Chains A and B, each alone.
Chain A
Amino acid sequence: MGNAFAQGTRLALELVAGILVGAALGYFLDSWLGSSPFGMIGGFLLGMVAGFVNLMRAVNQERAKVSQAEVAALPRVEDDDEESLF
Protein backbone atom coordinates (compact mmCIF):
# COMPACT_ATOMS: atom_id res chain seq x y z
CA MET A 1 0.00 0.00 0.00
CA GLY A 2 2.83 2.37 0.88
CA ASN A 3 4.51 1.65 -2.41
CA ALA A 4 1.36 2.29 -4.44
CA PHE A 5 0.86 5.55 -2.54
CA ALA A 6 4.45 6.57 -3.28
CA GLN A 7 3.96 5.75 -6.94
CA GLY A 8 0.72 7.76 -7.06
CA THR A 9 2.23 10.89 -5.54
CA ARG A 10 5.20 10.56 -7.87
CA LEU A 11 3.03 10.46 -11.00
CA ALA A 12 0.85 13.36 -9.82
CA LEU A 13 3.90 15.47 -9.07
CA GLU A 14 5.56 14.85 -12.44
CA LEU A 15 2.67 16.58 -14.19
CA VAL A 16 2.34 19.47 -11.71
CA ALA A 17 6.08 20.18 -11.62
CA GLY A 18 6.27 20.36 -15.40
CA ILE A 19 3.45 22.91 -15.55
CA LEU A 20 4.93 24.97 -12.70
CA VAL A 21 8.40 25.10 -14.25
CA GLY A 22 7.00 25.94 -17.69
CA ALA A 23 4.79 28.73 -16.33
CA ALA A 24 7.65 30.11 -14.21
CA LEU A 25 10.01 30.14 -17.20
CA GLY A 26 7.35 31.91 -19.26
CA TYR A 27 6.83 34.46 -16.47
CA PHE A 28 10.52 35.31 -16.27
CA LEU A 29 10.75 35.47 -20.04
CA ASP A 30 7.86 37.96 -19.95
CA SER A 31 9.47 40.19 -17.33
CA TRP A 32 12.72 40.07 -19.31
CA LEU A 33 11.34 40.70 -22.80
CA GLY A 34 8.15 42.53 -21.81
CA SER A 35 6.07 40.15 -23.89
CA SER A 36 3.35 39.64 -21.27
CA PRO A 37 1.16 37.57 -21.37
CA PHE A 38 2.31 35.45 -24.33
CA GLY A 39 5.47 34.07 -22.70
CA MET A 40 3.52 32.77 -19.74
CA ILE A 41 0.78 31.28 -21.92
CA GLY A 42 3.35 29.58 -24.14
CA GLY A 43 5.38 28.48 -21.14
CA PHE A 44 2.31 27.05 -19.48
CA LEU A 45 1.40 25.04 -22.59
CA LEU A 46 4.97 23.84 -23.09
CA GLY A 47 5.16 22.97 -19.40
CA MET A 48 2.00 20.93 -19.70
CA VAL A 49 3.51 18.98 -22.61
CA ALA A 50 6.74 18.52 -20.64
CA GLY A 51 4.70 17.32 -17.66
CA PHE A 52 2.98 14.73 -19.81
CA VAL A 53 6.33 13.65 -21.27
CA ASN A 54 7.63 13.20 -17.71
CA LEU A 55 4.48 11.34 -16.76
CA MET A 56 4.78 8.96 -19.72
CA ARG A 57 8.45 8.31 -18.95
CA ALA A 58 7.70 7.60 -15.29
CA VAL A 59 4.85 5.24 -16.18
CA ASN A 60 6.97 3.40 -18.74
CA GLN A 61 9.72 3.06 -16.16
CA GLU A 62 7.29 1.59 -13.64
CA ARG A 63 5.87 -0.77 -16.23
CA ALA A 64 9.33 -2.02 -17.18
CA LYS A 65 9.96 -2.74 -13.50
CA VAL A 66 6.75 -4.76 -13.20
CA SER A 67 7.54 -6.84 -16.27
CA GLN A 68 10.98 -7.62 -14.82
CA ALA A 69 9.31 -8.82 -11.65
CA GLU A 70 7.04 -10.99 -13.76
CA VAL A 71 10.03 -12.49 -15.58
CA ALA A 72 11.67 -13.22 -12.24
CA ALA A 73 8.50 -14.97 -11.12
CA LEU A 74 8.29 -17.16 -14.23
CA PRO A 75 10.29 -20.29 -13.16
CA ARG A 76 7.86 -20.78 -10.29
CA VAL A 77 5.08 -21.41 -12.81
CA GLU A 78 6.99 -24.26 -14.48
CA ASP A 79 6.96 -26.33 -11.30
CA ASP A 80 3.17 -26.24 -11.13
CA ASP A 81 0.72 -28.07 -13.32
CA GLU A 82 0.04 -25.61 -16.12
CA GLU A 83 -3.45 -26.96 -16.85
CA SER A 84 -4.74 -26.09 -13.41
CA LEU A 85 -3.41 -22.54 -13.67
CA PHE A 86 -5.24 -21.44 -16.79
Chain B
Amino acid sequence: MSKTTTKKVYSDVAGPLEQFDIKPLYDINVAGYDLSLTNSSAWMIGILLFVWAFMFFGMRKAELVPGRWQSMVEGLHEFVVGMVDENIGPKGRSFVPFIFSLFIFILVANVAGLLPYSFTVTSHIAVTFAFAAFIFVMCILIGIFRHGFAWFGFFLPPGTPWYLMPLIIPIEIISFLSRPITLSVRLFANMTAGHILLKIFAGFVVSLGVAGGIWSVVGVLPLAMNTALYALELIVAIVQAYVFALLTTVYLNDSINLEH
Protein backbone atom coordinates (compact mmCIF):
# COMPACT_ATOMS: atom_id res chain seq x y z
CA MET B 1 0.00 0.00 0.00
CA SER B 2 2.03 2.92 -1.25
CA LYS B 3 1.21 6.57 -0.93
CA THR B 4 0.84 7.16 -4.67
CA THR B 5 -2.00 4.66 -5.11
CA THR B 6 -3.91 6.29 -2.24
CA LYS B 7 -3.52 9.68 -3.89
CA LYS B 8 -4.71 8.36 -7.22
CA VAL B 9 -7.84 6.80 -5.76
CA TYR B 10 -8.66 9.98 -3.84
CA SER B 11 -8.67 11.93 -7.07
CA ASP B 12 -10.91 9.29 -8.68
CA VAL B 13 -13.53 9.62 -5.94
CA ALA B 14 -16.08 12.21 -7.03
CA GLY B 15 -16.11 15.34 -4.89
CA PRO B 16 -19.26 15.84 -2.83
CA LEU B 17 -20.27 18.87 -4.89
CA GLU B 18 -19.66 17.40 -8.33
CA GLN B 19 -23.15 15.88 -8.39
CA PHE B 20 -24.65 19.37 -8.63
CA ASP B 21 -22.66 20.41 -11.72
CA ILE B 22 -24.76 21.48 -14.67
CA LYS B 23 -23.38 20.11 -17.91
CA PRO B 24 -24.69 21.09 -21.33
CA LEU B 25 -25.71 18.01 -23.29
CA TYR B 26 -26.78 19.72 -26.50
CA ASP B 27 -25.84 23.31 -27.35
CA ILE B 28 -28.67 25.59 -28.42
CA ASN B 29 -28.13 29.31 -28.91
CA VAL B 30 -31.07 31.59 -29.60
CA ALA B 31 -30.29 35.27 -30.25
CA GLY B 32 -27.20 35.19 -28.07
CA TYR B 33 -28.92 33.44 -25.17
CA ASP B 34 -27.59 30.09 -24.04
CA LEU B 35 -30.60 27.77 -24.12
CA SER B 36 -28.59 24.54 -24.12
CA LEU B 37 -30.21 21.31 -23.12
CA THR B 38 -28.43 20.58 -19.84
CA ASN B 39 -28.51 17.52 -17.64
CA SER B 40 -30.92 19.46 -15.41
CA SER B 41 -33.41 20.15 -18.18
CA ALA B 42 -33.01 16.61 -19.52
CA TRP B 43 -33.95 15.24 -16.08
CA MET B 44 -36.91 17.61 -15.90
CA ILE B 45 -38.16 16.37 -19.27
CA GLY B 46 -37.64 12.80 -18.06
CA ILE B 47 -39.62 13.52 -14.89
CA LEU B 48 -42.46 15.04 -16.90
CA LEU B 49 -42.54 12.00 -19.18
CA PHE B 50 -42.58 9.70 -16.16
CA VAL B 51 -45.42 11.65 -14.53
CA TRP B 52 -47.33 11.70 -17.80
CA ALA B 53 -46.87 7.94 -18.29
CA PHE B 54 -47.82 7.25 -14.67
CA MET B 55 -51.04 9.23 -14.97
CA PHE B 56 -51.92 8.22 -18.53
CA PHE B 57 -51.37 4.47 -18.25
CA GLY B 58 -52.87 4.46 -14.77
CA MET B 59 -56.13 5.97 -15.96
CA ARG B 60 -56.25 4.63 -19.53
CA LYS B 61 -58.62 1.82 -18.69
CA ALA B 62 -60.46 3.50 -15.84
CA GLU B 63 -62.70 1.01 -14.11
CA LEU B 64 -65.25 1.33 -11.35
CA VAL B 65 -63.23 -1.07 -9.25
CA PRO B 66 -59.70 0.27 -9.65
CA GLY B 67 -56.73 -1.96 -10.29
CA ARG B 68 -53.37 -1.51 -8.56
CA TRP B 69 -52.06 1.21 -10.83
CA GLN B 70 -55.35 3.09 -11.03
CA SER B 71 -55.70 3.07 -7.25
CA MET B 72 -52.18 4.54 -6.92
CA VAL B 73 -53.17 7.44 -9.18
CA GLU B 74 -56.51 7.86 -7.42
CA GLY B 75 -54.88 7.68 -4.00
CA LEU B 76 -52.45 10.48 -4.90
CA HIS B 77 -55.28 12.57 -6.28
CA GLU B 78 -57.45 11.98 -3.21
CA PHE B 79 -54.50 12.97 -1.02
CA VAL B 80 -54.07 16.31 -2.79
CA VAL B 81 -57.82 16.97 -2.87
CA GLY B 82 -57.97 16.27 0.86
CA MET B 83 -55.08 18.65 1.51
CA VAL B 84 -56.69 21.43 -0.54
CA ASP B 85 -60.13 20.89 1.06
CA GLU B 86 -58.64 20.98 4.53
CA ASN B 87 -56.58 24.13 3.98
CA ILE B 88 -58.59 26.20 1.51
CA GLY B 89 -62.12 24.79 1.63
CA PRO B 90 -64.64 24.46 -1.22
CA LYS B 91 -63.29 27.54 -3.07
CA GLY B 92 -59.96 25.78 -3.49
CA ARG B 93 -61.24 23.04 -5.80
CA SER B 94 -60.19 24.97 -8.91
CA PHE B 95 -56.58 24.95 -7.64
CA VAL B 96 -56.39 21.17 -7.27
CA PRO B 97 -54.80 20.68 -10.74
CA PHE B 98 -52.11 23.25 -9.98
CA ILE B 99 -51.28 21.87 -6.52
CA PHE B 100 -51.37 18.32 -7.84
CA SER B 101 -48.94 19.07 -10.69
CA LEU B 102 -46.63 20.92 -8.32
CA PHE B 103 -46.71 18.12 -5.74
CA ILE B 104 -46.18 15.25 -8.13
CA PHE B 105 -43.39 17.03 -10.05
CA ILE B 106 -41.44 17.87 -6.89
CA LEU B 107 -42.10 14.42 -5.42
CA VAL B 108 -40.82 12.62 -8.50
CA ALA B 109 -37.86 15.03 -8.84
CA ASN B 110 -36.84 14.48 -5.21
CA VAL B 111 -37.16 10.71 -5.34
CA ALA B 112 -35.48 10.48 -8.77
CA GLY B 113 -32.54 12.36 -7.26
CA LEU B 114 -31.88 9.36 -5.04
CA LEU B 115 -31.27 7.05 -8.00
CA PRO B 116 -27.58 6.31 -8.60
CA TYR B 117 -25.96 8.59 -11.24
CA SER B 118 -29.01 10.82 -11.22
CA PHE B 119 -29.23 14.59 -11.08
CA THR B 120 -31.42 16.19 -8.42
CA VAL B 121 -33.34 18.95 -10.15
CA THR B 122 -34.65 20.40 -6.88
CA SER B 123 -31.14 20.77 -5.44
CA HIS B 124 -30.75 24.01 -7.39
CA ILE B 125 -32.11 27.20 -5.89
CA ALA B 126 -32.84 28.49 -9.41
CA VAL B 127 -35.44 25.75 -9.85
CA THR B 128 -37.03 25.98 -6.41
CA PHE B 129 -37.05 29.78 -6.43
CA ALA B 130 -38.70 29.79 -9.85
CA PHE B 131 -41.53 27.72 -8.34
CA ALA B 132 -41.73 29.88 -5.22
CA ALA B 133 -41.66 33.18 -7.12
CA PHE B 134 -44.40 31.95 -9.44
CA ILE B 135 -46.54 30.95 -6.45
CA PHE B 136 -45.84 34.28 -4.76
CA VAL B 137 -46.90 36.35 -7.78
CA MET B 138 -49.91 34.09 -8.26
CA CYS B 139 -50.99 34.64 -4.63
CA ILE B 140 -50.82 38.42 -5.04
CA LEU B 141 -52.72 38.42 -8.35
CA ILE B 142 -55.44 36.07 -7.06
CA GLY B 143 -55.80 38.20 -3.93
CA ILE B 144 -56.19 41.41 -5.92
CA PHE B 145 -58.55 39.87 -8.50
CA ARG B 146 -60.80 38.30 -5.88
CA HIS B 147 -60.87 41.04 -3.26
CA GLY B 148 -59.73 44.18 -5.05
CA PHE B 149 -58.17 46.85 -2.89
CA ALA B 150 -59.50 45.15 0.26
CA TRP B 151 -56.81 42.51 -0.17
CA PHE B 152 -54.20 44.99 1.08
CA GLY B 153 -55.99 44.83 4.44
CA PHE B 154 -54.11 41.54 4.72
CA PHE B 155 -51.13 43.59 5.90
CA LEU B 156 -53.11 45.00 8.81
CA PRO B 157 -54.18 42.43 11.40
CA PRO B 158 -57.61 43.21 12.88
CA GLY B 159 -57.65 45.08 16.18
CA THR B 160 -54.35 46.87 15.62
CA PRO B 161 -54.25 50.15 17.59
CA TRP B 162 -53.62 53.15 15.30
CA TYR B 163 -50.33 54.07 16.99
CA LEU B 164 -48.86 50.64 16.16
CA MET B 165 -49.80 50.77 12.47
CA PRO B 166 -46.46 52.28 11.24
CA LEU B 167 -44.68 49.40 12.96
CA ILE B 168 -47.06 46.52 12.22
CA ILE B 169 -47.52 47.20 8.50
CA PRO B 170 -43.78 47.01 7.59
CA ILE B 171 -43.45 43.89 9.75
CA GLU B 172 -46.37 42.24 7.97
CA ILE B 173 -44.95 43.24 4.58
CA ILE B 174 -41.53 41.79 5.43
CA SER B 175 -43.22 38.68 6.78
CA PHE B 176 -45.14 38.32 3.51
CA LEU B 177 -42.04 38.95 1.35
CA SER B 178 -40.07 36.28 3.22
CA ARG B 179 -42.54 33.59 2.10
CA PRO B 180 -40.99 32.77 -1.29
CA ILE B 181 -37.55 32.68 0.34
CA THR B 182 -38.52 30.21 3.05
CA LEU B 183 -40.47 28.14 0.53
CA SER B 184 -37.58 27.84 -1.95
CA VAL B 185 -34.64 27.65 0.45
CA ARG B 186 -36.28 24.90 2.52
CA LEU B 187 -36.60 22.52 -0.42
CA PHE B 188 -33.21 23.43 -1.91
CA ALA B 189 -31.33 23.20 1.42
CA ASN B 190 -32.89 19.87 2.37
CA MET B 191 -32.08 18.24 -0.95
CA THR B 192 -28.55 19.70 -1.22
CA ALA B 193 -27.55 18.95 2.37
CA GLY B 194 -28.79 15.37 2.19
CA HIS B 195 -27.02 14.62 -1.06
CA ILE B 196 -23.73 16.13 0.11
CA LEU B 197 -23.95 14.02 3.28
CA LEU B 198 -24.57 10.85 1.25
CA LYS B 199 -21.58 11.59 -1.00
CA ILE B 200 -19.27 12.32 1.93
CA PHE B 201 -20.11 9.08 3.70
CA ALA B 202 -19.77 7.17 0.45
CA GLY B 203 -16.34 8.78 0.04
CA PHE B 204 -15.39 7.51 3.52
CA VAL B 205 -16.33 3.97 2.49
CA VAL B 206 -14.08 4.11 -0.57
CA SER B 207 -11.08 5.73 1.11
CA LEU B 208 -11.26 3.41 4.15
CA GLY B 209 -11.63 0.37 1.90
CA VAL B 210 -8.56 1.39 -0.11
CA ALA B 211 -6.54 2.05 3.05
CA GLY B 212 -6.47 -1.74 3.64
CA GLY B 213 -6.00 -3.84 6.78
CA ILE B 214 -8.03 -2.89 9.83
CA TRP B 215 -9.31 0.25 8.06
CA SER B 216 -11.24 -1.82 5.56
CA VAL B 217 -13.14 -3.38 8.45
CA VAL B 218 -13.86 0.08 9.91
CA GLY B 219 -15.20 1.03 6.47
CA VAL B 220 -18.32 -1.00 7.24
CA LEU B 221 -19.41 1.71 9.69
CA PRO B 222 -19.86 4.54 7.13
CA LEU B 223 -21.49 2.00 4.81
CA ALA B 224 -24.09 1.23 7.48
CA MET B 225 -24.46 4.95 8.13
CA ASN B 226 -25.00 5.59 4.43
CA THR B 227 -27.72 2.96 4.29
CA ALA B 228 -29.49 4.57 7.23
CA LEU B 229 -29.04 8.03 5.66
CA TYR B 230 -30.54 6.75 2.45
CA ALA B 231 -33.71 5.77 4.29
CA LEU B 232 -33.77 9.19 5.96
CA GLU B 233 -33.24 10.90 2.61
CA LEU B 234 -36.19 9.00 1.16
CA ILE B 235 -38.37 10.31 3.97
CA VAL B 236 -36.97 13.84 3.53
CA ALA B 237 -37.62 13.71 -0.22
CA ILE B 238 -41.28 12.80 0.30
CA VAL B 239 -41.86 15.07 3.31
CA GLN B 240 -40.33 18.09 1.56
CA ALA B 241 -42.53 17.60 -1.50
CA TYR B 242 -45.52 17.38 0.84
CA VAL B 243 -44.42 20.46 2.83
CA PHE B 244 -43.93 22.47 -0.37
CA ALA B 245 -47.43 21.61 -1.61
CA LEU B 246 -48.94 22.12 1.86
CA LEU B 247 -47.42 25.59 2.28
CA THR B 248 -48.57 26.52 -1.22
CA THR B 249 -52.14 25.69 -0.21
CA VAL B 250 -51.70 27.65 3.04
CA TYR B 251 -50.44 30.70 1.12
CA LEU B 252 -53.18 30.39 -1.50
CA ASN B 253 -55.73 30.18 1.32
CA ASP B 254 -54.61 33.60 2.55
CA SER B 255 -55.33 35.04 -0.91
CA ILE B 256 -58.61 33.21 -1.53
CA ASN B 257 -60.26 33.43 1.89
CA LEU B 258 -59.35 36.83 3.25
CA GLU B 259 -59.60 36.11 6.94
CA HIS B 260 -58.22 39.24 8.49
Tell me if B226 counts as interface (CB < 8 A to partner A): no
**How far in angstroms is the closest Cβ of chain A from B229?**
11
Q: Quick check: B177 and A21 within 8 Å, CB to CB? A: yes
Tell me if B29 counts as interface (CB < 8 A to partner A): no
Contact with B along A36-50 (1 / 0, CB 8 A): 000000010011011
- Residues of A within 8 Å of B243, CB to CB, are 6, 10
Q: Quick check: A18 and B189 within 8 Å, CB to CB? A: no
- Chain B residues with a Cβ closer than 8 Å to the other chain, count: 21
Contact A17 to B182, CB < 8 A, known contacts A46-B171, A46-B174, A50-B175 = yes
Q: Quick check: B236 and A18 within 8 Å, CB to CB? A: no
- Size band of the interface chain A makes with B: 20 to 34
**How far in angstroms is the closest Cβ of chain B from A76?**
22
**How far in angstroms is the closest Cβ of chain B from A57?**
8
Contact A6 to B178, CB < 8 A, known contacts A13-B186, A17-B185 = no
Tell me if B232 counts as interface (CB < 8 A to partner A): yes
- Residues of A within 8 Å of B190, CB to CB, are 6, 9
Q: Quick check: B185 and A13 within 8 Å, CB to CB? A: yes
Complex-state Cα separation, A9 to B186, whole angstroms: 7
Tell me if A3 counts as interface (CB < 8 A to partner B): yes
- Residues of A within 8 Å of B238, CB to CB, are 2
Q: Quick check: A18 and B174 within 8 Å, CB to CB? A: yes
Complex-state Cα separation, A54 to B167, whole angstroms: 15
- Residues of B within 8 Å of A77, CB to CB, are none
Complex-state Cα separation, A47 to B177, whole angstroms: 10
- Residues of B within 8 Å of A50, CB to CB, are 170-172, 174-175, 178
- Residues of A within 8 Å of B239, CB to CB, are 2-3, 6
Subset of 16 A-B contacts with CB under 8 Å: A1-B235, A2-B238, A6-B190, A6-B240, A9-B190, A13-B182, A14-B182, A17-B178, A20-B178, A21-B174, A25-B177, A46-B167, A50-B175, A53-B175, A54-B175, A54-B178
Interface residues of A (CB under 8 A from B): 1-3, 5-6, 9-10, 13-14, 17-18, 20-22, 25, 43, 46-47, 49-51, 53-54
10 tightest Cβ-Cβ pairs between the two chains A and B: A2-B235, A50-B174, A17-B178, A17-B181, A50-B175, A21-B178, A17-B182, A50-B171, A21-B177, A13-B182
